Structure 1
Amino acid sequence: MSKIIYLAVIRGAYKLVEDAENAWQHAKKRWGAVRQVGFPNTAYFLPVIYAATGLKVETLADMETVLIRSRALLPPKAGGNNPLAYLGPTLDAGLAALFAEELIEAIRYLETPHIYTQSEDPTHDTLWLGAADDVILRKRGVEFVDGSVPGFAAILGSAPDEKIAASIAADLQQRNFYSFMSASNDGRCLSEQLVSAGTQIGWSTRLVPFGPEVSATIFAIGFAVRVALSFGGVAPGDYRKLFEYCRNRVAAFVIALGDVSDEWYATAAGALNFGFPIIADTPIPEILPSIISGVRHDTIVARAADVRGVKVVVTQVPVPVAYGPAFEGERVRGEGVYLECGGGRTSMVEWVTSKPIDEVIDGFVEVIGPEITDVPAGSRLPLAIVIEVAGRQMQEDYEPILERQIHHLINYAQGVMHLGQRDIAWLRVSKAAVEKGFRLAHIGKLLHAKLHQDFGRIFDKVQVKIYTNKDDVSAVAAKAREIYAARDARIEGMTDETTDTFYSCLLCQSFAPSHVCVISPERTGLCGSYNWMDCKASFDIAPTGPNQPVPKGQTIDARLGQWKGVNEYVFKASRGKIDHYNFYSIISDPMTACGCMECISSILPMCNGVMTVNREFNDMTPCGMKFTTLAGTIGGGVTTPGFVGHSKYNITQRKYLAAEGGIKRLVWMPRSLKEEIAELFNERAEEIGIPDLLDRIADETVGTTEEEILPFLTAKNHPALSLEPLI
């Protein structure tokens, strides 16, 4: 350990702890010791402190214990002569620095609440996003689970100029890393440079501007820590397991751009506790392999990934714009739009269909109708994308799987925005993309390249036809809608009773090792991404993948939804942690959850019913908990009687909580969720003879406590009130 680094870390840590103490004293005088503190819509108090020490910081008074603990971690300012003796004290000082930064940021939220947007993207008024709330954590956590994101870079400072800043950001995006940006250098932050360069930033593009101060780096460390708490089974206070989990399961690193201050050194030392190496562009003292210095800007991302041990293959696709998953959330708006298709402005449809092998020319792409170059900027066109595939292994069941890829594969192109699917799709192409040479034909080329790359095992040839004439698009849409209806009817007509084999989904086990999701025709995956047909096709495509067949075996309890074969699989796949659960019950050993569920149901004893809340709803619910608290309670692969995670679509399936009466028990859900599922829900309500059931269900406009909603339910004669008692 370099004595230069040691002394810089100690100075920086002392400075940060002193700043935290001064901010705390000031806040306590202004607000009082009992004033509540925390990061908005998060269930982990101050997560780094909570995870490392087990201490819950809920008020300003609680901060005093943390400050005492931080002071105890600080070593003497003068070091000895043995370089090895500096390592332990340096890491301790770094941890004290992180604790201090978390206190500073919590007080910042109290003192200046509008400095951060509390949203996924910057606004016109505020660039800084602050701490990721639990909705963002779980939404983005799925990307770490399914392997589309290899890790994240915590970036401090700024590049020498905007061009270099944009280049570093694009390199990270093309390698699919998240960039968590904080701190300034020479009065500028990398985030500000990217905005000036015309680069979109925010969670949607994986370029996340946490805050302008070095203390905002704690939000990046906190993100990794909350992954460990939410999905890794790490208990608060078990710092050894915390550090081990982050070191081995969260591929993160620190990139320091510009002169490294004492506070930066201290923050970097804190990151070293979690196994996150530091790569700097300035000639600071090196400690291989943890601290690398003097790295050129054009190689800094590749060097960082190599030091962290992350092997990333940069996808090469024949398009004239940058291409990768990091651009999936990019938006094309207003004056930046060159061409718009669909989205209610024009007709747009997407359809994958199988063809005889002699009718498909592999790689053939044809635009039938006007190309981008044939229309002026700001134009709108109808659009039909028809993908024709052929091969000995190709089956009709695979068509919707390939069709679902169109959305994200098109979105991977920088400057191209795609929303929706089937016949409700929406496409925008930016002026910037057109200036770089992007054409509609490139949509066909990128779909050909990526479908071959990702799914080439199941087909031999693929050709793409793109129609932009109104009559052609209408004709394609009519044919496609017939196929869509036939597909939906197949899964709708299936039942759990008549199906001998269910399918597993183990995508989330890297975060929740004991969670095993088993998907049946009448219980879709709780994340909402997979139904039974999808899993079957996925298994056919990738037999060693996360979706494995699960023979039902002997029925143990038809009412609750429990089978011998499923129990045996769950016991094996959970490594002996879970030996059974029930598909259709919220009371009796309900299914486990990982943390990625779209909705959570909870019993409401006073109302003799059940409420459900979706992830997007941030307010209080009648069970006395917000979604984030509920998710922290039932996530991580445990069975929690009285609570169960599920998808939005599952609410409208016949087996939703069938053991307790199904949708007749549903007494409360957010208005937005009611509107979203209304069409399918009303069909199911009609089927059970209560066509106005949705109107009898309370929402937040009625109340957010059982006492508030019970009179409404009584007045509406809700069926739950006449069912047998839940408990």
Structure 2
Amino acid sequence: MSKIICSAAIRGAKKIIDMAEESYEEALKKYGPEQEVSFPNTAYYLPIIYSILGAKVEKLGDMKDIFQECRKLLPPVVSEDIWLPYLGPALDAGMATFFAEEMFEAIRYLNEPNFYTKTEDPSEDNLWLGAADDVIFRKRGVEFVDGTAPGFAAIMGTPEDKEVASRIALELQEKNLYIFMHDQSNGKNMAELLVDNGVQVGWNTRLVPFGKSYTSAVFAIGFACRVALAFGGIKPGDYKGNLIYNKDRTFAFIMAFGPVSDEWYANAAGAINWGFPTISDWDIPEVLPTGICTYEHVVSNVPHDEIVQKAIEVRGLKVNVTKIDIPMAFGPAFEGERIRKDDLFMECGGGRTTGVEVLISREMDEVEDGKVILEGPDISDIEEGQNLPIGILVEVAGREMQSDFEPILERQFHHLINYIQGIMHIGQRNIMWIRIGKGAVEKGFSFKHIGVVLHGKLHQEFGAILDKVQVKIYTIQEKVDEVMQLALKVYEERDLRLGSMTDETEEVFYSCTLCQSFAPSHVCVITPERIGMCGAYNWLDGKASYQINPTGPNQPIQKGECLDELNGYYAGINEFVAQASRGAVTQVSCYSLMNNPMTACGCFEAIAAMLPQCNGIMVVNRDYRGMTPSGMKFTTLAGMAGGGMQTPGFMGVSKHYLTSKKLFMAEGGLKRVVWLPKMLKDELAEKLKKRCEEIGMPELFDMIATEEQGTTEEEIMSFLKEKGHPALEMETAIG
């Protein structure tokens, strides 16, 4: 490895450790060793230190040992006339850099609690988001698991020209990457240049301004470490497992713009430990031999119009982007883009006008593949602010197409239309809403482009069951009303078909092992009355997925003989799970929280947990950040329910499973539920009330406590007694 780079990395590491330790000593005098320190709302402590060393830094005093470790790792500073550094010492210096920077940032949170926004998007007066909390991490981290986001580009500094910066950011977005932004070059930073050029930044557009200094690079590396811990089954302290996992699965790289300081070299050396190379536009020494990284470690002098492609090549990232022929940029990075009032050109549906979308299957000779028609005014025919009704009718045909697949395909409209830069899609069916931004109109957006997107992407993603797709878009009220009448009839028939399915009417259930490579013993069993715990896959989704990809993560399970109707033990399910988990799990109950509950990876929408004193069950959703009557917050409970383990009394569930007839059937069903966060109870209110009526207890809804009644078992018990909750009279659920 280059002597210049190694020397600079070691010098930079020493400066950073000295700076961090000075900050630590000052904080120690000010607050004392018992002062709690942390990143906001996370169960991962300081994630790099936690994942690599297994150390839980919870108080200032805990940092002392970590600084000693930094000093042990730090090689001597290199003299001019002696050749000492090789790759190993530089990597050690880089690792020590990240430990020191993570502690420095934790102390910054203590000293300056409002330095970062601690939100998903920038605020009006603060651009810098700081470390992602666990709610953001869970929502975004899973995208690194399912391939929606293959990796991230950690930007250090910026090109000086805002147009160049915007073009590079857009090219990275089109590759579906996250862009994590840090530090500045010659007084300029990339995030501010993007905002100045009218580009939306924040987690929703994958343009994430972590921090204004180089020390914020630990938020990017820490995010990668948490992915390995949460989804990869890597244990804290298994540094080798964490580094290898990220090298093989998280396709990340450093992109450095402008002069490279010793501190940047130190951070780059640290990133190489994870297999993340550095690509720079500056004239710095290169490290071309392979070794730790997949290919080269440091590549320099790359022109701005080539730097994205070069970075992807060096990292070994295989990006498969099929061009959709529309004038706007297109990809998952734009799914979270908002069209605000000042950006709005016009809108359709959403209560402003009539809006409806529906997909139906036809006979082969009734569909002309690739046909996209528009009847009514187009964008170019109207003035700004002139809203139009819209009816989107997608007709498909295929030899393997079934009517059961219609709602699954239709549900793709939401994210596929949102993939168009400058277009915002909300809702579905006859409550859909489209907002069209001025930027899209300036680039030549036409309603026909929606048809082009739906035709192309439905073919790409569902080619195994679709042979033909045609799209008809109407913006004339009379024609939209016709589509509405057709759609309402289709919706009614569809809901009746889905609603009539039960676990007893179907002999085949479906597995989901999408996350098994990250939690090897986890097998999700999806039944007609039990949606996947992530909330994203129901029984029909599993069936469609198997038809589309017969060797994929959703496999049919012949449920076989029912061994225990109350607990939901089936011979076929036990046999399948034992085989799919490689013997780690031999029995799974479909309907019990206490007896061999279903395993989870970590992607669940909510967690169910037994409350022994109350003889009842609480369910807490991921978005609720407060304390629960179990004495644990969601982040702590997640450690009990995830990782592919079976922990009686703790189980991941989807939110809407709470309205299923099979909910906790072995424990008495909905009558056993005693506590929900208010936000979850309100979200499911209508369906929960209906379910309460079905079981003959309409008053049960008002008997379920929320945090307004208490967050301890004692407080909840008092409320339950006052209301006469049925759980108090039920047989104890804990044997």
TM-score (norm: length of structure 1): 0.98
The worse-fitting range, judged by mean Cα deviation, of 17-26 and 365-374 is 365-374
Three-state SS of the structure 2 residue aligned to 1:140 is helix
1:489 corresponding residue in structure 2: 496
2:144 corresponding residue in structure 1: 144
> Partner amino acid for 1:627?
F
1:294 corresponding residue in structure 2: 301
**CA–CA separation in structure 2 for the residues paired with 1:40 and 1:687:** 42
Three-state SS of the structure 2 residue aligned to 1:508 is coil
> 1:266: how far off?
0.5
1:626 corresponding residue in structure 2: 633
Cα distance change of structure 1 residues 66 and 367 upon mapping to structure 2, 3 Å threshold: same
1:586-615: CA deviation from partner (whole Å, max 9, x where unpaired): 111211111110010111111110110111
**Structure 1 position 282 matched with structure 2 position 289:** no
> Is the contact made by 2:255 and 2:278 (CA closer than 8 Å) also made in structure 1?
yes
**CA–CA separation in structure 2 for the residues paired with 1:222 and 1:86:** 26
2:229 corresponding residue in structure 1: 229
**CA–CA separation in structure 2 for the residues paired with 1:348 and 1:517:** 36
**Structure 1 position 524 matched with structure 2 position 531:** yes
> Is the contact made by 2:6 and 2:85 (CA closer than 8 Å) also made in structure 1?
no
Select the residue among 362, 380, 391 that pairs with 2:369: 362
> Is the contact made by 2:3 and 2:85 (CA closer than 8 Å) also made in structure 1?
no
Three-state SS of the structure 2 residue aligned to 1:724 is coil
> 1:83: how far off?
6.4
The worse-fitting range, judged by mean Cα deviation, of 115-124 and 327-336 is 115-124
> Partner amino acid for 1:316?
K
2:659 corresponding residue in structure 1: 652
> Is the contact made by 2:350 and 2:434 (CA closer than 8 Å) also made in structure 1?
yes
> 1:82: how far off?
8.6
Cα distance change of structure 1 residues 66 and 469 upon mapping to structure 2, 3 Å threshold: same
**CA–CA separation in structure 2 for the residues paired with 1:431 and 1:83:** 59
**CA–CA separation in structure 2 for the residues paired with 1:355 and 1:233:** 45
Three-state SS of the structure 2 residue aligned to 1:115 is coil
1:109-159: CA deviation from partner (whole Å, max 9, x where unpaired): 111111212221111121111111111111112222222211111111111
2:548 corresponding residue in structure 1: 541
1:210 corresponding residue in structure 2: 210
The worse-fitting range, judged by mean Cα deviation, of 467-476 and 147-156 is 467-476
Provide the alpha-carbon RMSD of the alignment: 1.5
1:195 corresponding residue in structure 2: 195
Alignment of 1:62-73 (within 5 A): 62-73=62-73
**Structure 1 position 476 matched with structure 2 position 480:** no
**CA–CA separation in structure 1 for the residues paired with 2:477 and 2:189:** 48
> 1:456: how far off?
2.7
1:350-383: CA deviation from partner (whole Å, max 9, x where unpaired): 1001223333222222222222122211232221
The worse-fitting range, judged by mean Cα deviation, of 341-350 and 113-122 is 341-350
**Structure 1 position 638 matched with structure 2 position 639:** no
1:395-415: CA deviation from partner (whole Å, max 9, x where unpaired): 212211210111111111100
Three-state SS of the structure 1 residue aligned to 2:395 is strand
2:292 corresponding residue in structure 1: none
**CA–CA separation in structure 2 for the residues paired with 1:344 and 1:610:** 39
1:105 corresponding residue in structure 2: 105
1:616-668: CA deviation from partner (whole Å, max 9, x where unpaired): 11111111111111113321111111111010111100111111011111111
**Structure 1 position 332 matched with structure 2 position 339:** yes
The worse-fitting range, judged by mean Cα deviation, of 562-571 and 422-431 is 562-571
1:31 corresponding residue in structure 2: 31
> Partner amino acid for 1:231?
F
**CA–CA separation in structure 2 for the residues paired with 1:434 and 1:386:** 23
> Is the contact made by 1:582 and 1:590 (CA closer than 8 Å) also made in structure 2?
yes
The worse-fitting range, judged by mean Cα deviation, of 144-153 and 163-172 is 144-153
**Structure 1 position 347 matched with structure 2 position 392:** no
> Partner amino acid for 1:684?
R
Three-state SS of the structure 1 residue aligned to 2:563 is strand
**CA–CA separation in structure 2 for the residues paired with 1:80 and 1:636:** 50
**CA–CA separation in structure 2 for the residues paired with 1:725 and 1:597:** 27
> 1:474: how far off?
2.9
Three-state SS of the structure 2 residue aligned to 1:465 is strand
1:52 corresponding residue in structure 2: 52
Aligned positions, number: 727
1:231-261: CA deviation from partner (whole Å, max 9, x where unpaired): 1121111211121111112211111111111
> 1:85: how far off?
5.0
Alignment of 1:362-401 (within 5 A): 362-401=369-408
> 1:555: how far off?
2.1
> 1:500: how far off?
1.2
1:453-494: CA deviation from partner (whole Å, max 9, x where unpaired): 222332222211112223332332232122222222223222
Three-state SS of the structure 1 residue aligned to 2:425 is strand
> 1:685: how far off?
0.7
> Partner amino acid for 1:219?
F
**CA–CA separation in structure 2 for the residues paired with 1:628 and 1:475:** 49
> 1:182: how far off?
0.8
1:159 corresponding residue in structure 2: 159
Ranges in structure 1 where 5+ consecutive residues have no aligned partner: none
Three-state SS of the structure 1 residue aligned to 2:535 is coil
The worse-fitting range, judged by mean Cα deviation, of 575-584 and 531-540 is 575-584
The worse-fitting range, judged by mean Cα deviation, of 664-673 and 141-150 is 141-150
> Partner amino acid for 2:491?
Y
> Partner amino acid for 1:140?
R
The worse-fitting range, judged by mean Cα deviation, of 599-608 and 114-123 is 114-123
Cα distance change of structure 1 residues 438 and 177 upon mapping to structure 2, 3 Å threshold: same
The worse-fitting range, judged by mean Cα deviation, of 165-174 and 397-406 is 397-406
Three-state SS of the structure 1 residue aligned to 2:661 is coil
> Partner amino acid for 2:385?
G
> 1:394: how far off?
2.2
> 1:160: how far off?
2.5
**CA–CA separation in structure 1 for the residues paired with 2:467 and 2:231:** 39
